[in-house]
Amino acid sequence: MKFVLPLMTGASLICAAALPATAAPLPPADTTTDLGVFTGVPGNDSAGLGRMVPPGTFTDTYTFSTISTDLISASITNSYTFSNQLIDPFTITFYSGVPGNGTQIASATATSPFFGFESGGFAPIRQAAGQFYLVVSGTTKDDPTYGGSVALSVSSVPLPASAPMFGAALLALGAVGYGVKRKKAAAAA
């Protein structure tokens, strides 16, 4: 009897190991990610976009805000090995405002110039400080992983606080120069 119990325990462990493991759950079809505040200082801010998407249609939203007038650009890419990993259509749309209450600014559809790669995006667009979001959407038959980025570059540097003083000094210097020129012209005549 002493040997039967260990044999039964060992047999039940072997049977349990033969059972199929539970698959990890697929990510949801739609996600929202906050990219935070882009400051634009000291020059460029950027954030990555992307994830593995489940088969079917997906819509991912990326929210962010800026604190100055900036140039904002974004791009998306998908590298694939098999044609069923192609995301078609694969779009990125840029909005000002908050999700559900925004104004569309730009949109681009990714194209596939050659097998195994598709990409799209929009050139830098000047925007005043505010809240923005990007919507990446598409339809796929398999579970590809897309990537991309959003980048912000400072497009206008605010004037220093002493700019009016510099303007006044420049105006005074011009007036002095004009007076000297008139005085020389009068002395020569």
pLDDT tops 60 at residue 137? yes
The mean pLDDT value of the chain amounts to 74
If one compares 53 and 175, the residue with the highest pLDDT of the two is: 53
If one compares 41 and 30, the residue with the highest pLDDT of the two is: 30
Alpha-carbon distance 64 to 34, whole Å?
6
**pLDDT classification of 130: cutoffs 50, 70, 90:** very high
Q: Could you read off the pLDDT of 149-169 as tens digits, one per residue?
A: 787 765 444 444 455 555 565
Q: Could you read off the pLDDT of 57-95 as tens digits, one per residue?
A: 999 999 999 888 888 889 999 888 888 888 888 999 999
* Environment class of 186 (CB within 10 Å of its CB; exposed 0-12, middle 13-18, buried 19+): exposed
The residue written with tokens 């919507």 in the block is: 135
Cα–Cα nearest to 102, from 76, 123, 130, 126: 130
Q: Mean pLDDT over residues 112-137, rounded?
A: 89
DSSP-derived secondary structure for 63-130: EEEESS-EEEEEEEEEE-SSGGG--SSEEEEEEEEETTEEEEEEEEE-EEEETTEEEEEEEEEEE-SE
Q: Mean pLDDT over residues 5-20, rounded?
A: 35
Structure confidence at residue 12 (pLDDT): 34
Domains of the chain: 30-154 (2.60.120.680)
Q: Could you read off the pLDDT of 140-150 as tens digits, one per residue?
A: 888 788 888 78
Report CA 46 to chain centroid distance, whole Å. Answer: 7
Q: What is the pTM of this model?
A: 0.66
Give the Å distances, CA to CA, from 54 to 27, 29, 58, 147, 165.
Answer: 7, 6, 8, 14, 60
According to DSSP, the β-strands at 56-66 and 30-38 are parallel
The residue written with tokens 């805000």 in the block is: 65
